[in-house]
Amino acid sequence: MSTRETTTREDQNSKVFEARGITKVYEMGEVQVQALRGVDLDLYSGELVVLLGASGSGKSTLLNILGGLDTATSGHVTYHGKDLTEATERELTSYRRSHIGFVFQFYNLIPSLTARENVSVVTEIAAEPMRPEEALAIVGLGDRVNHFPAQLSGGEQQRVAIARAIAKNPAVLLCDEPTGALDSATGLLVLNALERVNRELGTTTVVITHNAVIADMADRVIHLSDGLITEITSNQDKKTPSQLQW
Amino acid sequence: MKGQALAIALVISSGIATFVMSISTLDSLRYTQAAYYNNYRFAEVFISLKRAPESLKGSVAAIPGVQRVATRVKAAVTIDIDKFPDPVTGLLISIPDKGEPLLNGLYLREGRLVESGRDNEVLVNDAFARVHGLSPGDKLHVTVNGKRKALTIVGIALTPEYIYQIQPGSMLPDFERYGILWMGRTPFGAAYDMEGAFNDLALTLAPGAEIKDVIDALDTIMRPYGGLGAYGRKDQVSNRYLSEEFRMLGKMATIFPVIFLGVSAFLLNVFVSRLISTQREVIAVLKAFGYSNLAIGLHYLKLVLLIVLLGTVGGVLAGIRLGQGLSRMYMDFYRFPFIEYVLSPYVVGAAVIVSAAAAVGGTILALRRAALLPPAEAMRPEPPVSYRETIIERLGLKGFFSQPGRMIIRHIERRPLKSLLTITGIAFSCAIMMAGTFFGDAVDYMIDVQFGLSQREDISLTFIEPTSGKAVHELQSLRGVDYVEAYRSVPVRLRYRHHEYRTAIEGVEPDGDLQRLLDTSLKPIELPPAGIVMTDYLGKILGAGPGDILTVEVLEGSRPTLQVPVAALVSQYIGVSAYMQLSALNRLMREGSAISGLYLATDSRYKNDIYESIKKMPRVAGTIARKDAIKNFYVTMGKQILVFAFYMSIFAATIAFGVVYNSARIALSERSRELASLRVLGFTRGEISFILLGELALLTLVAIPLGFVIGRILCAYMINSLQTDLFRIPLVLDAGTYALAATVVLVSACISALIVRRKLDNLDLVAVLKIKE
């Protein structure tokens, strides 16, 4: 870890995640695929981190392990000091339910529920949620609450997904290629929403992307390649999404 | 996919197995019957008479159209069997002193035929021998014409003439208390005063002969000799019963398999369409590579046909096995000397074609949908499907549902047709289950009504000939006999317009307590002083109702032909009878107080004493105890239906499982992405199971009452088509039938749910997020 990094973390030294020596091996038939080859990583409260890498670099695997969707083959991940690698299936479910918000490339909305209900589905099972309307207002969809996914554009659907992710007031927001399926104008709207959530709610946000431009809006950028972290850089003057262009 | 394909193959198997089993059993029975009739020279026209000289045979043989003629002597006898207290009666039939009978041949199961010159040899029929454990060498005491004679059994035989042996006055066979015996013509004639004479004749027809002309000519010849009316095989008791039974089996053998094949075809269709819509992308890629729609179609068709093949082979094999088993059971039941198991290629062919057609139909429809999409569009993720608020929610009940609840009802409402088909499939399995199991209750009810409300005597006895009414007092005076009612039974041919039916008019006492006629609401009715009262079934056969004048052709005595009005119709589940007041019938017959038999109400403690006394009465031709009659009913009629129904229930359960399991699996594959997303969002396994299985539970719960309705209709339809001269099963469905059907469906649903739940537990959360719709 560079000294440069520690200085930027002065006021946010509460460590959310601590990952040490994570490896992940997938058995694909008779072939073994090493997705992660020993990753050490710390994530801090309130920061916006971009995981940057080509496809196959292991970034999704890393995100899934952090989010409790997958388990590491070896190594340890702790969340606020609690070891996720030792957690049972039931504990991981409860962990995702209480602490993590997810945003996916393909939105994964429930088509049979309206925007509001897609958010409610999560707030109904959360401990201290915000009102669904409030969450939708944050992502700029206050006027589309009664629309079904089929009646919304891709960008709007992704913003509903963000609203759904933040409505339970999660400690961490994990976004896997949130703009991957969107054109750049729509993508920017989505990034705006993420940036606003991070700024206003202080939610630790991790965004996976292979689009280097997006990295400019992060506090820190973690470069992954071939299952290893190759570089971690901090943005001294991070840009707002409206300043980005691709 | 494997499980689903297997479940479908299983359902197809069930459908085909039922079909093959039923049709092949029926074919085998019919084939065996025909072969048996043919090989053992079953006669085609029969007549009984008082007595005619043997020389009359020549005149009969001279009737145009007559091929072969056999004269016989027949007599009602009583039989004494050691250690069997009940009165046993029988029919003694003459056979040639040497060699096989010319007509109505005997199949010797054991022993030999009689030898000429011996006057104490007898053959007994197989069923009777079996229940009493008789074998060649055993002795019997038979009372012929008032004379008791000791006879030695030399053979055990079967004959196509008495596949069913039914004693006079009974409507059901009784193998225990009624036997058929054969004795050489000379010793029998000597004992029965029939030397050089005969009292029964059977003949076969030359090809192309008109049976009605032969019957008329025969009646004319026999009239002076006390002929009782000639009749063809159609009215020959054993053959009639057998034909009716085969007709009933035939109905069952078509109704069930048609439904089964229908349901399995439906399942296959749903499965195939679903499969192909999930393969949308693959199809697009193949098309992009330049595969033609035809080539792609053939690919999926092969898969589908493989499932059909699997199901068909399994079904045909199971069907053959079950069919052979069932045929053997029927062989035993009908006492056929052999059974020829026949499996016509058309049976297998028909089964294969129906299943394959359903599969191919489903495949083509689904493929058309997939093929219509340009490849580029098909490769893009499907847009989110449109949903809207359901009617229930718009009615203001929205707040009533949680989000998962809304997902369930909106999903159901969005594809109403699919939901409806699932409901229909489950409902049908519930209905088949009911149709397979309700017979038990219905038969119980029928017995309760027939023997509890209508035929209430403990013992009924029949005299050899019409007897003076004084016999009532003789029986009344026996210890243990509480009450006696007399009846007169006159064999008749009833005609109305161009319909005719051979039966008997029962003359019963008008305010009788033992023999009562019931109206449609099962209330006893009083017999009108004149006119005929008929069962509604007979009314339907003749097309006659109250007020119509029937032509009654009496088949005994001076054989008058009379015109008698129909006074009323009554409902009766068993038999096809006509009734009159005893005195009115006597007046009509211009006879005194003649009676044919008696109904007794007895004190069961004196049963054996009463039997002892009855055995000593030479005029008694048959005795039936109500309890035995009921038992016989279950043993004979009941058994085959119940066995068949039992097989059906098993198949119905398979279908119930197949439908529910497939619905669950389809729902799972359609919604796994959605459910995995919810899991990612922190929903527990239980919570997502609720969404998926809740929908299934809701559909199942809706399907069950619908199944009850369909089941009732199905049962009504079956009952209607199973109406026979022997009995008409009433539409009685008791709570147990409904409960059993519902339970089978629910258990199938639960098992399916458990299997699907296991799949839900192993949902790959990561993979599902990467897949596009």
Question: How far apart, in Å, are the Cα atoms of B281 and each of B278, B378, B379, B380?
Answer: 8, 6, 5, 8
Q: Give me the phi and psi of B169, to 5 degrees please.
A: 85, -5
Whether B681 sits inside 8 A of A164 (CB atoms) is: yes
Q: Which residues of B touch A108 (CB under 8 A)?
A: 673-674, 677, 680, 769
d(CA B145, CA B356): 66
Which among B573, B495, B580, B579 has a CA at the least distance from the CA of B541?
Answer: B495
Q: Of A105, A150, A157, which is closest to B386 when you measure between CB atoms?
A: A150
Whether A108 sits inside 8 A of B386 (CB atoms) is: no
Q: Of A94, A96, A106, which is closest to B681 when you measure between CB atoms?
A: A96
Q: Measured between CA atoms, how close is B769 to chain A, in angstroms? A: 7
Whether A148 sits inside 8 A of B403 (CB atoms) is: no
Q: Of B411, B687, B769, which is closest to A112 when you measure between CB atoms?
A: B411
CB pairs under 8 A between A and B: 90
Q: Are A219 and A49 a contacting pair, CB within 8 Å?
A: yes
SS3 labels along A40-103: EEEEECCCEEEEECCCCCCHHHHHHHHCCCCCCCEEEEEECCEECCCCCHHHHHHHHHHHEEEE
Q: Which residue type sits at A175?
A: C
Total domains present in chain A: 1
Which among B658, B696, B13, B675 has a CA at the least distance from the CA of B418?
Answer: B696
Q: Provide the 10 A C-beta neighbour count for residue A183.
A: 11
Q: Measured between CA atoms, how close is A239 to chain B, in angstroms? A: 29
Whether B766 sits inside 8 A of A104 (CB atoms) is: no
d(CA B438, CA B445): 11
Please, which residues have CB within 8 angstroms of residue B261's CB and are 6 or more apart in sequence? B15, B16, B19, B351, B354, B355, B358
Q: Which residues of A touch B402 (CB under 8 A)?
A: 124
Q: Which residue of B has its CA nearest to A98?
A: B682
Measured torsion, CA atoms of residues B727, B733, B739, B743, in degrees rounded to the nearest 10: 50
Could you tell me the two tokens for B303?
Answer: 């898969």
Residue A220 is part of which domain span? 3-108+168-243
Q: Measured between CA atoms, how close is B1 to chain A, in angstroms? A: 19
Q: Which residues of A touch B407 (CB under 8 A)?
A: 110, 112-113
Question: How far apart, in Å, are the Cα atoms of B209 and each of A246, B59, B223, B477, B689?
Answer: 101, 17, 22, 55, 74
d(CA A203, CA B492): 100
- What does R_g of chain B's alpha carbons equal in angstroms? 33
Least confident of A11-15, A135-139, B416-420: A11-15
Question: How far apart, in Å, are the Cα atoms of A44 and each of A208, B189, B496?
Answer: 16, 119, 102
Q: What residue has token string 């819509």?
A: B277
Q: Measured between CA atoms, how close is B412 to chain A, in angstroms? A: 10
CB-hemisphere CA count at 13 Å for B240?
21
Tell me the average pLDDT of chain B.
85
Q: Which residues of A touch B769 (CB under 8 A)?
A: 104-106, 108, 176
**Is residue A152 in a domain?**
no
Q: Which residues of B touch A106 (CB under 8 A)?
A: 381, 769, 772-773
Whether B766 sits inside 8 A of A69 (CB atoms) is: yes
Pairing of strands B147-158, B139-144: antiparallel
d(CA B555, CA B223): 10
Distance of CA A245 to the CA centre of its chain: 21
Q: Are B370 and B162 a contacting pair, CB within 8 Å?
A: no
Q: Which residues of B touch A148 (CB under 8 A)?
A: 384, 386-388
SS3 labels along chain A: CCHHHHHHCHHHCCEEEEEEEEEEEEEECCEEEEEEEEEEEEEECCCEEEEECCCCCCHHHHHHHHCCCCCCCEEEEEECCEECCCCCHHHHHHHHHHHEEEECCCCCCCCCCCHHHHHHHHHCCCCCCCCHHHHHHHCCCCCCCCCCHHHCCHHHHHHHHHHHHHCCCCCEEEEECCCCCCCHHHHHHHHHHHHHHHHHHCCEEEEEECCHHHHHHCCEEEEEECCEEEEEEECCCCCCHHHCCC
Q: Measured between CA atoms, how close is B424 to chain A, in angstroms? A: 24
Q: What residue has token string 């068993």?
A: B574
d(CA A232, CA B504): 107
Q: Are B107 and B95 a contacting pair, CB within 8 Å?
A: no
d(CA B525, CA A179): 87
**Is residue A118 in a domain?**
no
Whether A125 sits inside 8 A of B687 (CB atoms) is: yes
Whether A112 sits inside 8 A of B406 (CB atoms) is: yes
Q: Which residue of B has its CA nearest to A104?
A: B769
Please, which residues have CB within 8 angstroms of residue B448's CB and are 6 or more apart in sequence? none
Whether B765 sits inside 8 A of A124 (CB atoms) is: no
d(CA B690, CA B667): 13
Angle between helices A184-201 and A154-166 (to 10 degrees): 10
Whether B387 sits inside 8 A of A112 (CB atoms) is: yes
Q: Which residues of chain B have pLDDT under 70?
A: 1, 168-169, 171, 274, 277-278, 370-371, 373, 376-384, 636-642, 644, 768-773
Strand order in the sheet with B66-72: B66-72, B197-205, B45-53, B231-232
CATH code, A37: 3.40.50.300
Q: Of B386, B674, B682, which is closest to A110 when you measure between CB atoms?
A: B674
**Is residue A35 in a domain?**
yes
Please, which residues have CB within 8 angstroms of residue B85's CB and are 6 or more apart in sequence? B608, B611, B612
Q: What share of chain B is helix, strand, coil (3-state, %, to 5)?
A: 55, 20, 25
Q: What is the DSSP code string of B17-82?
A: HHHHHHHHHHHHHHHHHHHHHHHTT--SEEEEEEEEEGGGHHHHHTSTTEEEEEEE-EEEEEEE-T
Mean pLDDT of A53-63: 89
Pairing of strands A204-209, B178-184: unpaired
The string of pLDDT tens digits covering residues B100-128 is 999 999 999 999 999 988 889 999 999 89
Q: How many residues does chain A have?
A: 246
Strand partners, A103: A175
Most A CBs within 10 A among B388, B401, B680, B760, hence the mutation to make, goes to B680
**Is residue A11 in a domain?**
yes
Greater confidence, A238 or A204? Answer: A204
Whether A148 sits inside 8 A of B772 (CB atoms) is: no
Whether A150 sits inside 8 A of B404 (CB atoms) is: no
ipTM of the complex: 0.83
Q: Which residues of B touch A150 (CB under 8 A)?
A: 383-387
Whether A150 sits inside 8 A of B684 (CB atoms) is: no
Q: Which residues of A135-157 are buried (b: 16+ CB within 10 A; e: fewer)?
A: bbebbbbeebbebbbebbebbbb
Q: Measured between CA atoms, how close is B357 to chain A, in angstroms? A: 35
The string of pLDDT tens digits covering residues B413-456 is 877 877 887 888 888 888 888 887 887 788 888 888 888 888 88
Most A CBs within 10 A among B388, B389, B403, hence the mutation to make, goes to B403
Could you tell me the two tokens for B464?
Answer: 């050899």
Q: Of A97, A108, A176, which is closest to B682 when you measure between CB atoms?
A: A97
d(CA B645, CA B632): 19
A4 pLDDT band, cuts 50/70/90, is very low
State whether residue B593 is helix, strand or coil: coil
Q: Of A69, A106, A113, which is closest to B680 when you measure between CB atoms?
A: A69
d(CA B505, CA B582): 10
d(CA B199, CA B180): 17
Whether B384 sits inside 8 A of A113 (CB atoms) is: no
Q: Measured between CA atoms, how close is B643 to chain A, in angstroms? A: 48
Please, which residues have CB within 8 angstroms of residue B612's CB and are 6 or more apart in sequence? B85
Q: Of A64, A90, A120, which is closest to B403 when you measure between CB atoms?
A: A120
Q: Which residue of A has its CA nearest to B761?
A: A89
pLDDT at A11: 43
Is the pLDDT at A125 greater than 90? The verdict is no
Distance of CA A102 to the CA centre of its chain: 6
Which among B653, B651, B650, B649 has a CA at the least distance from the CA of B661?
Answer: B653
Q: Which residues of B touch A149 (CB under 8 A)?
A: 384
State whether residue B294 is helix, strand or coil: helix
Q: Measured between CA atoms, how close is B683 to chain A, in angstroms? A: 7
Q: Which residue of B has its CA nearest to A99?
A: B682
Greater confidence, B645 or A6? Answer: B645
Angle between helices B416-448 and B403-414 (to 10 degrees): 90
B382: DSSP letter: P
**Is residue A159 in a domain?**
no
Whether B414 sits inside 8 A of A112 (CB atoms) is: yes
Q: Of A60, A90, A149, which is closest to B384 when you measure between CB atoms?
A: A149
Strand partners, A26: A33
Whether B404 sits inside 8 A of A121 (CB atoms) is: yes
pLDDT at B381: 57
Q: Give me the phi and psi of B83, to 5 degrees please.
A: 60, 20
Most B CBs within 10 A among A112, A168, A176, hence the mutation to make, goes to A112
Q: Measured between CA atoms, how close is B671 to chain A, in angstroms? A: 10
**Is residue A130 in a domain?**
no
Q: Which residues of B touch A100 (CB under 8 A)?
A: 682
Q: Measured between CA atoms, how close is A137 to chain B, in angstroms? A: 20
Residues of A with CB under 8 A from a CB of B: 60, 64, 67, 69-70, 90, 93-94, 96-98, 100, 102, 104-106, 108-113, 117, 120-122, 124-125, 148-151, 157, 164, 176
**Is residue A216 in a domain?**
yes
Burial class (CB in 10 A: 0-12, 13-18, 19+), B616: exposed
